[in-house]
């Protein structure tokens, strides 16, 4: 299949790309950092291309959609993984409103725009899928962060999208990882690496979802560290 992955230059996104490249899928990788993305694309070789894009900028997203079409890459699958965690303390009272707007732009609105931009390609596919990477912060009531608010919003979008697209045969999956060991989120000195999920755990789940029959859809997956969520 032809698969577009956002946030694909590091962490969970890069692990997903590695897993799906091994499965012989054709990939188009998207990330904000052009150099890091170039390094990621070059490590794969054949059947992998990509372009940089700041998903906070709607104009850049529009250009990305046009570039993908110009390169005649018609995705069967969208894996919308890119996200921002924000910088503010875990408080829905103290954090600035501007940061909430930014998180919603990247974590929700960008995905909305990408789905709109590629919906015709998905409709034409034999096995179309949209996989949204949420978070267990979006299924908890004790998270207390703006990031959690954005992931709650993404969960709502995923549910409505699933309902609207089912008659078109386009499956929608929301995958909610808990704390995951990545370049952006590493254990502190008192936390061993195995306290968190591996990025490959998420990649393997996505690979399994894509191997199901066209009439099967996994609607939602929650995957946490064995000892539960951790800040």
pLDDT in tens, 62-117: 999 999 999 999 999 999 999 998 876 677 778 888 999 999 999 999 999 999 99
Q: Which residue has the tokens 């502190």?
A: 188
Mean pLDDT of 191-195: 78
Q: Using the CB atoms, write b or e for 213-223: b if 16+ within 10 Å.
A: eeeebbebbee
Q: DSSP assignment, residue 216?
A: -
pLDDT in tens, 151-177: 999 999 999 999 999 999 999 999 999
User: What's the pTM value of the predicted model, to 2 decimals?
Assistant: 0.93
By the 8 A CB rule, do 147 and 157 touch?
no
By the 8 A CB rule, do 31 and 17 touch?
no
């Amino acid at each position: 299949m032809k698969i577009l992955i956002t946030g694909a230059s590091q962490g969970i996104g890069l692990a997903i790309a590695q897993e799906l490249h091994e499965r012989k899928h054709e990939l188009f990788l998207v990330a904000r950092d052009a150099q890091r993305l170039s390094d990621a694309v070059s490590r794969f070789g054949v059947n992998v291309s990509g372009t940089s894009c700041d998903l906070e900028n709607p104009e850049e997203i529009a250009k990305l959609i046009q570039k993908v079409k110009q390169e005649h890459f018609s995705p069967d699958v969208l894996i919308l993984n890119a996200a921002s965690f924000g910088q503010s303390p875990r408080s829905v009272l103290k954090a600035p409103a501007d940061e909430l707007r930014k998180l919603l732009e990247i974590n929700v609105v960008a995905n909305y725009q990408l789905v709109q931009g590629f919906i015709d390609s998905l409709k034409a596919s034999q096995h179309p899928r949209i996989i949204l990477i949420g978070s267990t912060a979006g299924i908890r009531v004790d998270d207390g962060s703006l990031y959690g608010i954005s992931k709650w919003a993404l969960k709502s979008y995923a549910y409505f999208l699933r309902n609207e697209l089912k008659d078109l045969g386009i499956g929608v999956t929301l995958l909610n990882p808990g704390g995951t060991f990545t370049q952006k989120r590493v254990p502190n000195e008192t936390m061993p690496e195995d306290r968190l999920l591996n990025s490959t755990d998420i990649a393997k789940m996505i690979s399994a979802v894509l191997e199901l029959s066209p009439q099967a859809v996994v609607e939602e997956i929650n995957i946490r560290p064995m000892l539960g969520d951790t800040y």
